[in-house]
Structure 1
Amino acid sequence: MNAKLLFIAALLFVGCSKDPSAIEGGKADWGIQPALPVVNGEATFNLNAADDYVSVMGNSVPRMPNFPKLSARSGVVRGYVADLSGNPLEGAYIGVRSTATGGSYSGASDETDVNGYYEITVPWGAAEFYAAGYTIDYGEGRAVVSLGAADGKLGSFASAEGLVKNFVLLSYGVFNKDLVSQKPRDPTNYAGGCFYITYNVADASSVYNPETYIPENAEIQVTLTPDEPGLFGENKKFVINKKASLQNYNFIVMNVPIGRYTLTAKLNGKPLRMEAVGRYANLYPYFGLKPGTATGSAKLLFTPDTQSGNSLTLPNRGNWGSLQIKVERAE
C-alpha cells in the first residue's frame, strides 16, 4: 500500500456531538463589534525595472472582531468562526488531525453551528489544523475561501491540553507575518486576490522584435477600479506603474481586497491588449478576466485556486489563484 493510501486509511474522521451547555453561559455573547476598517481612496505604486511584485494592502492585518470568551478543555479544540464584521458564520469547516507515531494521522472535524461555534474531540497525540474553509457567494458564483486564525498562529498543540482557536473570514491582509517576511512575493501568504501581468520586451540586440512587443523602459500602467464595494465595504482604487525591462517579463499584484473590478492596461497612455492565459484562463464561467481578450479595459473577478470544497482548504493560506494576464501593444 503506497503512502497516499496509508494516509487516507489513517485519516479517520471522528464524530463529535456539541453540547450547547459547553458554551460558557449556555449562549454565545458576541458583544459590541468595532467599526470596520475604512478602505477607500486611491493608492499608486511605482515599480522600477528590478521590482516584480507589490502587495497593494501592504503587510497590514485588519483588526479582528470580538469573539465570545471560551476556556480550554482537555482533549477538545473549540472556538468560533466569524467574518470581519463579527457576524458568526454557520457551516464553516474546521479539521484537526493528530499523530502519535510521526507517520500515521487520525483526524476529526466539525462544522460551525448557527452561533459560529465548533467543537472537536481531538484524537490523541500532537495535533494540528489541516483545514479551515468557508464557501461564500461571489459574483454570480460560489467561491471556497480559506479562513485565518484570529491570532495569526497555527502551530501544533498537545491534544491532552486542549485549545481554543477562533477563525475569521478576511478579504485582504497577512495571514502570518513570519512567513511574509520570508516569502513576501508568495500570494498564498495573503488573504486578498492576486494576478500577474506578463509581457514581451523588445530587445535591441535581437533581430526579432514584433510590433506587439513593449519597448524597454516604457511604462506599463495597470489600474484596478472597484465596480462596487467589496466583502466588507472596501472601495479603493489601485494604480500600478511598472517600467518595462529585459530583467524580468512579469510582475505580480497581490493582496487586493476581494471584489469586482475593472482592470485597465496602458503603455505610455495608450491602451494595451490584454489576454487571459495560463491555468486559470477561462477555467470558470464567472471568474477571471471577462472578456478573456480585450483592449484597454476588462472586468476582473478573482479566481479560487480550488473549488474542491471546504474540507480541502488549508487554513491561514490564501485560496485565490494567480490570474495570468498577458499584455501587448495593440497597434
Structure 2
Amino acid sequence: MNFKVFCMAALLLAGCSKDPADVEGGGGETTDWGDQPALPVVNGEAAFTLNAADDYVNVMGTTNPRLPNFPALKVKPGIVRGYVADLSGKPLEGAYIGVRSTAVGGSYSGASDETDANGYYEITIPWGATDFYAAGYTIDYGEGRAVMSLHAADGKLGSFPSVDGLVKNFVLLSYGVYNKDLVSQKPRDQTNYAGGCLYISYNVGDPTSIFDPPNYLPENSEIQVTLTPDGPGLYGTNKKFVINKKISFQNSSVLIMNVPVGRYTLSAKMKDGTSLLMKAVGRYSGIYPYFGLIPAEATGSAKLLFTPESQSGNSMTMANRGNWGAISIKVDRPQ
C-alpha cells in the first residue's frame, strides 16, 4: 500500500497523543538523560588485502558501536513511544517515526510522530498487528542534506499487538550492522550496514586477444584504493582505509561497505604507483551536485561524499536499513 495513503489514514484513524506528564517524572519516569559513555574512538588506519576471488569488504567488521543510555519509560497499552538520540546521547529533534497496523482482511492504517526537543515521540497505535514502516532523520552533510535510517536500540523490529503497546528507542549510527542474521545471509547487501558504500569496477586486459585496450588493467596486477578522511566525520571518526585488490578475470569489481559517515579523499593507483583514472558512472552519476565523486572524473584522487539511496524524506526511510547507495566508480589506466 502506498505510504501516502496510510499516512492519510493515520490522520483519520489514529493520532499522536503526547502527555508531558508521562515523561516529566510521572510514574517514576524522567526525561533526564544522565551521564553518557564516551564516544567510541575510531581512528588510525586499517588495511585489507583482497584476492582475485574477493569482491567485497566490510571495513568496520560486524562490531557495532556501543549505544547511548536512554531515559526509562514504562509500556502504555495502545501506545508506542520512545526516544531518539545520536551516538553521544544527544536527543534528536525532528526525527520521524511511523507505524502501521494490519487488521483482519489485510487493510492497513498508520500513524506517525516527530520527536520533540527532548527526542521523545508518542503515537496512539491503530488497532491490529503493528510494525514500523519508517524511522528517519536528516543531517547536514557536506554542502547538502542527507536522509539517514534510524537503528532500533535493541536491534529488534518485529510486529507486535497494538493493544499491548511498546517502548522503542532509536539511535543514529554512522557505521555498524543493522541485523547480523541478514548480514550472514547477504553480506554483499549494503543496506544491511549503517556506513557508506562505494563500488569500484574495471576492465581486465587480455594480451592474447586482438582487442586489448591499453586502458584495461593487466591480469594478475594489483590496485590500491585508499579512503582518507577529510577531517573528523560524524561522531569524530577519523580512520583511513586502504584496500589492496588483485586484478583477475574472476571478477571485475570490488564493493567497499560500512565506511563511517564523513567526507573523504579517494585515491586509486596501481601497485607500481601509476595513478588511475576514476570516473563516476551508474545510476547516481550526475544526479546530485553535492554527493558522490567530486569532480566526477579525476586521475589519482578526488573528493568523496556518500550518496543517499533516497532523498524523499524521513517519512519514506525504513528503520534498520541503510539509506546510502553504492557510488559506482570506474577505474582505468590513463592513456
TM-score, length-normalised on structure 1? 0.96
Deviations 1:285-306 (A, max 9, x none): 1111000000000000001111
Aligned to 2:312: 308
- Runs (4+) of structure 1 exceeding 2 A deviation are 4-11, 203-206
SS at match of 2:214: coil
Structure 1: distance between partners of 2:65 and 2:4: 36
- The CA deviation at 1:102 is 5.2
Structure 2: distance between partners of 1:9 and 1:287: 32
Out of 74, 87, 92, the residue aligned to residue 90 of structure 2 is: 87
CA 1:170–1:10 in 2, change beyond 3 Å: closer, same or farther?
closer
Residue 15 (structure 2) pairs with residue 15 (structure 1) = yes
Mapped contact 2:193–2:257 kept (Cα < 8 A): yes
Out of 54, 65, 75, the residue aligned to residue 68 of structure 2 is: 65
Give the letter for the 1:29 counterpart: D
CA 1:126–1:186 in 2, change beyond 3 Å: closer, same or farther?
same
SS at match of 2:211: coil
Aligned to 1:218: 221
CA 1:84–1:156 in 2, change beyond 3 Å: closer, same or farther?
same
Return 5+ residue gaps in structure 2 as ranges: none
Residue 316 (structure 2) pairs with residue 277 (structure 1) = no
Structure 1: distance between partners of 2:133 and 2:178: 15
Overall identity of the aligned pairs, in %: 73
Mapped contact 2:96–2:314 kept (Cα < 8 A): yes
Out of 221, 241, 245, the residue aligned to residue 244 of structure 2 is: 241
- The CA deviation at 1:205 is 4.2
Mapped contact 1:7–1:104 kept (Cα < 8 A): no
Count of residue pairs brought into register by the alignment: 328
Residue 256 (structure 2) pairs with residue 288 (structure 1) = no
Structure 1: distance between partners of 2:21 and 2:185: 43
- 1:1-331 pair list within 5 angstroms: 4=1, 8=5, 12-13=9-10, 14-23=14-23, 25-26=25-26, 27-101=30-104, 103-268=106-271, 269-331=273-335
Mapped contact 2:7–2:111 kept (Cα < 8 A): no
Deviations 1:143-182 (A, max 9, x none): 1110010111101111111110000001000011111111
Structure 2: distance between partners of 1:257 and 1:62: 11
Report the aligned-residue RMSD. 1.4
- The CA deviation at 1:11 is 5.9
Deviations 1:6-60 (A, max 9, x none): 9936861132231101216154010100000000000000000000000000011
SS at match of 1:17: coil
SS at match of 2:47: strand
Mapped contact 1:214–1:328 kept (Cα < 8 A): yes
Give the letter for the 1:323 counterpart: I
Mapped contact 1:127–1:156 kept (Cα < 8 A): yes
Return 5+ residue gaps in structure 1 as ranges: none
- Which is further off, 12-21 or 192-201? 12-21
